[in-house]
Structure 1
Amino acid sequence: MTTTDVPTTAVARTSAVPGRSGREREGAAWVFLSPWVLGAVGLTLLPMAVSLCLSFTDYDLFDSPHWVGLRNYTQMFTQDPRYWRSVTATLTYVAIAVPLQLALALAVALALKSMHRAKGFYRSAFYAPSLLGASMSVALVWRAVFNDGGPVDRLLGTGGWVDRPGWALLAVALLTVWQFGAPMVIFLAGLQQIPGELYEAAEVDGASRWRQFRSITVPMLSPVIFFNLVLQTIQAFQVFTPAFAVSAGKGGPADSTLFYTLYLYDRGFVASHMGYASAMAWVLLLVIGAVTAVLFRTSRSWVFYASEGDR
């Protein structure tokens, strides 16, 4: 072996090791990712594909699906008045519940930010409804609170809300507003990231608290507001448990709480029109995607990012 062969052999060996270790790392990564990949394919992508195929069929859960083309969609848009009542109820609920929930969450977050004692206790206490509110038991308690002879009836003398078409939807919306803990925690985290020097400079300039909130807090918090707005809007379109519990699964009174997902459940599992329910599910998916896209599009005009000077 010559002296020139030794460096060449050493270089060849050292160049082979990183390649082998890189392949080993890639293989290990796929091993760790495999449960997620299998879950995503088996529990999300494959059911979505099956649902899309069923939306073009007449399927009653017992017999084999029968291909009907676009009949489910045309019937949905042109021959089903209850479908449009469910759309109206859902849009009304989203327009009421989401702004009220975000406003209350922001107000409580501002109050907690200025507290110096027992902040952790109050933060946990306000967050607790977000853990409990989605359960059927709490929804049933909520129905009892707003029913005839319940606490709200005895206090206000307005009668039971859940039996009045003009008030039943508001009772369901208030249950969602009560679950403001999750966006509140996110708002509180965003408020703590705003530099205190901005408020000190504003006080020196004589800016009022309202002016500081409007000119400092809202612009600096706008990415967090946008995040909560998108998240809560998507969740509001999919609300089911409160409406099911408050209306006993009927969407009443007078279809005032017939939310989209509740009517989808009725068509799919009560009337056994699973093809029709699948078509409804895909329309809901497209609507949520369109609304989310609009929110992202409009965010360019009001969401401020500190890292981008032109915003």
Structure 2
Amino acid sequence: MNITVMNLNKYYGNNHALKDVSFKISENGLYLLAGPNGSGKSTLMEILAKIISADSGSVEYNAVITESEFKKKVGILFQQNGVRKNITVTEELEFVSEIFDKEIDINLYLHKFGLYEHRNKKSQRLSGGLQRKLLIASLFIQDYDIIFFDEPASGLDVQTRDFIWSIIKDYSTEKICIVSDHYLDQAASYCDQILLLSKGNLLFKGSKTSLLETFEYQTRIQSKKVDAERISQKLEEFDIHYETVYSGLLVNFYIRKSVDQLDERLKLEVEDTRQISVEDIYLYLSEKEVKLDA
């Protein structure tokens, strides 16, 4: 199934939430909608899932003709979705499979999602991570062609987040999964394509590799504002071109040289030096309000 988005615009009063957003998804895979609160990613997801309408522009799905067919092919999991509290884990999966007329091996599902030892527990007694696993397991039973996930691993520990991402990645080998998240480095490691949004603008669409290769800077040095002048002087002493991006009480210096190419004397003068990450690139692009071509 293909998704073609053309010149989407959405307003909330005077707030221009989406600004001429266009892109196309034509292959199965895992797609990351990335950006902080207010970037437009939730609005975009709701328009794609036909929960709200755009003020202008279009979203076209091939092979989907009627509204009823759309609902059979497209699923969505919001952060606020909850489990049915008074039935067991096994009963929940059996109920979903019966409602959607899907034959599944319940025990296989329970093991796959790490729920087997909790199979006889009421859903309300599960931890937040286990409830999220149960919701995703129930969603996968329905065998949607496209699934939208609104921050599916938000608020969970690192190990559970990795598990959630792994099972979504596995599903996406034969389906389209579109996921919003703001933990960019972890999410990007699982995703086939990244769509970076900032203040309603689509800044980049492409692979993580393409993003890192296209970006002109290779190293980020971070310091507190009180140390920024000292770092600036040191970089100038070593004749190193840089750009700065402020983030709260921190200053980020973007440098074209790789970490390995930096003089060891300079490294001794700065504490937080690392190879550019997806989060670093996003911070730069959103602050500078520039787009990056893949």
TM-score by length of 1: 0.20
TM-score by length of 2: 0.21
The structure with higher relative contact order (CA 8 Å, sep 6+) is 1
Q: Quick check: which one's strand share is greater?
A: 2
